[in-house]
A and B are shown apart, each in its own frame.
Chain A
Amino acid sequence: MSPLLSDLVVKRARSSSPAWALALALLSPVIPATVGAQPSWLADRMDRDGPGIRAGRLELHPSFAAEIGYDANVFLEDQGTNGSVVLQLVAGLTLSTLGAERMEEAEGADTQKLTFTSSLHVNYFQYLNTPNGGNVGGDLSAQLVVLPQGRFGFSISESFTRTVRPFVDATGSGSPSYGQNTSVTQANLRFQSPGGNLRSTVGYRLRAAFFDSTLFQANNNLTHGLTSELTWAFFPRTALFWNMDASFMDYRDNADSPAYQLLRGSRSVSTSIGVNGVLSTRVSATLGVGYTASIYEGDVVDDVDGITARAELRLRPRDMINLSFGYSHGIAQSYIGGYVMQDNLYAQAQMMFGGRFLLGLQLTGGYNRSGVALQSDGMTPLGNSLRRKDFRTLAQLYAEYRATSWLAVLTHIEYQADMTDYRFADPVSDMSVVIPDPGAGYQRVEAWLGVRIFR
């Protein structure tokens, strides 16, 4: 193993972010959040970066990747699917104050009064066999933390994400842009005990989601959120946690939109308590239970409340092998029916062999039930049943071989399916239009192969 690659492996082992959390980041659970899948390596920040370039008290991590793949169902159609060869180019740059590894080597990780991390990734998708052609997505994020180890601290962050892959069949409306842009700005105040075992955070979050195309702009929304967390860590490496989130969501442009689904703003509060941490040298777990309630504007969309729960077991049979299994039951905001109740089972595995070969596997299966989904007249069902019910599954395998400390070859295979008999009804407001592909179910297989250069 080369020294640089060895450093990377050590960095991976030292990181405070567990491997399973990376896979969690890959798939956002909130319905309005993420559209389209990111490249596998983008989801795994820890494995993406090399040793970097030091510039004084800053370090840089540039990267570039090119992938070619095949998407068997570009528009997630139920019938008459369109497949396409897809080219993807990704350029990235992260800039941050010195990371924990360099600080430990230099003067100790606890001495920093201020930390700054930022990253920019631009990814260009080119569909070679479908009319939607090319589009540019990416993400930009920055976080500033003042007194990260102090008794009182402050942080502010901004995360902008733009996804461009199709998320629905709009082929009957020409070649619209499927760009969805999401901005999340967060400010937190943190208080902690001198030893850091008791930590409390209160914060404010502003989230904006907006679409490129007028076809989807009715879904543009703005959410103000108040957050609070309390964690208490104890021996050996375990913590009790409590959190609360109050959200105020409003749709911005639904009054002028031709979209026919009924959208209503909501006031939601959710809270949960639980325990997170290590059970033994090979086993750790997260257990939590909570309560969520959402109240919607007007009387058309049903209010909802209920118990939420999650359980996750993480195993580490060997140092570079991480397995996790989990179940979650929750309530999330939805563009259809106001809310969706979700029950998800998942299993994940991530393995590193010889410091060169990374292998990841994820299996997710879930059952979703929306609230009563109506058209914009507030009376007519949006589909062939009052509530949309879906069995959804995702199976993902990704692998990366690091030929050198700066070059990797990667592949990614994914199967995604939504098994539902739900069919969208034609809009009653305008009898001259139809839904080209009313079936909501779909299956998609995609496979990718590429190279990545990183530092």
Chain B
Amino acid sequence: MRDRIRQFLAALAGVGLAATGIGFASAQTDDEDDASLAATQQVQLGSEEQIEEAESILERGQTICERVGTMKDTAQRGGDIILVDCLTPLSAQCSANLTSANERVGFLREAVSNRDTETANHQYGMLVLLEDNFDVLDGEANTCLGEEDFEVGDDRLTVTEPEDLPDEDPMNVPTSTPDVPVPFIPPPASAVM
């Protein structure tokens, strides 16, 4: 009985090790595979469409990096050291990703002009991954102090009133109430006749 248990645990450990090894091995090629996968998914796009999409990704990256930078500057002006510590590495990563995205857009343009479809697909795939990175950095930046301070959301609340409400302006508060409009004034006296 005890041997069976040992065999079961050994088998379980073996399966676990194998799974870990497979996972470790697969992690080595994640980026490349993801890029290939993204490229495969987007391979249906034409060259011009890829360039348009790449420029959109670059623009979005610039927006996010500017926003993170503004948040960091605001925190520095406010003397919030903890927030500055949280945002500084994110801002640096965002800048690095933006530089990379800028370069890859250039490579993509070059590959398209050379009709090098394989290289164009690869560069485009890498840009899709960078877009994901921008989104992750954006979310982490919001998490640094809570989204509410910077995510104001929709700043206009629209309500629809029922059409048949009484036609009153609540801002015009009536200042008086009805009374009998005769003042208390004594009658004048007359000389005794």
- Which residues does A use to contact B, with CB under 8 Å? 13-18, 20-21, 23-37, 76, 167-170, 172-173, 176, 196, 199, 215-216, 219, 229, 231, 233, 235-239, 241, 243, 258-261, 274, 276-278, 281-284, 286, 288, 310, 312, 314, 316, 326, 328, 330, 334-337, 340, 342, 344, 346, 348, 362, 364, 366, 370, 382, 388, 392-394, 416, 418, 424, 426-427, 430, 432-438
Contacts and interface: CB of A to CB of B under 8 A. Distances in A.
14 contacts: A14-B167, A16-B167, A31-B184, A76-B182, A168-B185, A168-B188, A172-B187, A219-B185, A229-B173, A237-B161, A258-B189, A334-B183, A370-B184, A434-B192
A170 B185 CA distance: 11
Interface residues of chain A: helix, strand, loop or mixed (majority): mixed
Nearest to B169: A16
Contacts of A29: 176-179
B166 interface: yes
Interface residues of B, number: 32
B148 interface: no
A340 B183 CA distance: 11
Contacts of A432: 191-192
B164 interface: yes
Contact of A36 (B159, B165, B167, B181): B181
Contacts of A167: 182-183, 185
Given A27-B178, A36-B181, A393-B180, A433 B191 contact: yes
Contacts of A393: 180
Interface residues of chain B: helix, strand, loop or mixed (majority): loop
Nearest to A416: B180
Contact of A31 (B173, B175, B183, B190): B183
Central interface residue in B165, B173, B190, by most chain A CB within 10 Å:
B173
Given A18-B166, A437-B187, A28 B179 contact: yes
B182 A418 contact: yes
Given A215-B188, A219-B185, A437-B187, A235 B159 contact: yes
Contacts of B187: 168-170, 172, 424, 435-438
B164 to A, nearest CB: 5
A336 B178 contact: no
B168 interface: yes
A161 B136 CA distance: 72
Contacts of A215: 188
A109 B108 CA distance: 56
A392 B173 contact: no
Contacts of A366: 179-180
B186 A239 contact: no
Given A173-B190, A432-B192, A433-B189, A21 B178 contact: no
B189 A199 contact: no
